[in-house]
A and B are shown apart, each in its own frame.
Chain A
Amino acid sequence: MIELPPLDLVLLVRLSREGGLAYLPGLSQPRSINLSTCPPGVRQDVCDALQRAAPLAVPECGQGGGDQRYFHIEMVMDRDDQTAVSFDVPETDAPDTLVRLWKAHAEPM
């Protein structure tokens, strides 16, 4: 597990899904959600997903191998994108709120 920073300090959340049987660039684009400009409902969804995912953080997730997927979550806390906190959650443990975020924020290449 990991302790989250105060979420009101987080400006941007970047979500990527790593691993899997192949690396398909078009299906692997990270999702970026700007918490300072997004609608309040989206912000609430993101915060819920972060709070449910943080207790499930696992170190060195990618080393699991065997084509298992995991989510990589970055919380950017300054406008220069210089300070970020990140953690990984195995897809098999990921809360449904996180999976929904991944699906809902897909952007065309």
Chain B
Amino acid sequence: MPRPSESAPLIGVIPPYVLDRLAQHTDARVSMPAVKTLIIDQQQRSLREMAEQPPRATLAPTRHAAPGGTPQRAVHDADNTTALPGTLARAEGRPASGDAAVDEAYAHLGATYKLFWDIYKRHSIDGHGLPLVGTVHYGEDYDNAFWNGAQMVFGDGDGEVFNRFTIAVDIIGHELTHGVIDTEAGLLYQGQSGALNESLCDVFGALVKQYALGQTARQADWLVGAGLFTEKVSARGLRSMAEPGSAYDDPLLGKDPQPGHMRDYADTPRDNGGVHINSGIPNRAFFLAATTLDGPAWKGAGQVWYDTLCDKRLRHDADFKAFAALTMTVAAERHGAAVQKAIGQAWAAVGVLS
């Protein structure tokens, strides 16, 4: 079915027999749109059939992989075009370039690699030393960062609402974690599995930042993308893991729509079924577990979340309850009663488990 819109019923929600009847209507003003709709519906069905397998990242085979413990970074400059990867601006081991975006990307890719290697013994995104490729200065005033299945891409922001997207280490951690998820559970980017996908990226992005700063769970700010907004807008960050829904409230941005409890779950067709909205619920569960256990969040709760992400029992279409139940199982199997109890209380506090 085509993605439904909140504002208009689309062809997929009009039963085909109704379209058939409209198409046979004697008034061409009525019949013509229905005929065209049927044609296009058939075309869309063909397109969907061609795309039966959910798209997964295809990571290029690693050639000349660096030994474990050593990242292999390459930061490129798109020179404000959209051509990828652009011109190589800083390769692994090269000195600082003097370009803030290039050097931030290089440093933050290193910080992300370091967390995954030092704590989880993961050798890059794929576990086999995949080079970490990033492109900065993408597009003109481009206000986004993304993982395209093979590399990270960072815009400069517009300078009005957004600063450059390399400024926040947790954002680079977030984007790299999309690559890790693609090579592990492959969580579908829709609805609750999509919100889990987003939440896991926020979790490991936060852990990259906390590990780099040497912060305990209770010392951390638990903001996603702090520093990303300019001072012209009233915003602390993109999201708050501690208090979902409180990151911004601004005339231009609107109000942070994230819920922190299942009773406020947003049932919406926008944002792929609210993947960046409902991620507030598992985000808050992680925050609660980590701060209850205290100490470094990358141990305890972080280790359980990582083990769960890599566990073969985690399905690609897992919902919140299935993920939560698996964290409890993993905690019981490998991490002891205190960790399991804290995680169980956290999931209960956000209404996912009772």
- Give chain A's interface residues, CB within 8 Å of chain B: 2-3, 5-6, 9, 14, 16, 18-28, 30, 57-60, 62-69, 72, 74, 76-78, 81-88, 92, 109
Contacts and interface: CB of A to CB of B under 8 A. Distances in A.
A5 B55 contact: no
Contact of A66 (B7, B48, B147): B147
Interface residues of B, number: 65
Given A64-B149, A74-B10, 8 more contacts: A21-B225, A25-B253, A26-B251, A59-B47, A65-B178, A74-B5, A84-B11, A109-B252
A57 B2 CA distance: 12
B242 interface: no
Secondary structure call for the A interface: loop
Secondary structure call for the B interface: mixed
A99 B56 CA distance: 26
Interface in B3-54: 3, 5, 7-11, 14, 22, 30, 32-34, 36-37, 39-40, 43-44, 47-48, 50-51, 54
Contacts of A66: 57, 146-149, 175, 178-179, 182, 189
B254 A24 contact: yes
Interface string B156-195: 0000010001000001001100110010000011100010
B44 A6 contact: no
B70 interface: no
A45 to B, nearest CB: 19
A51 B150 CA distance: 30
A81 B5 CA distance: 11
Nearest to B187: A65
B2 A67 contact: no
Given A5-B33, A24-B254, A83-B37, A18 B270 contact: yes
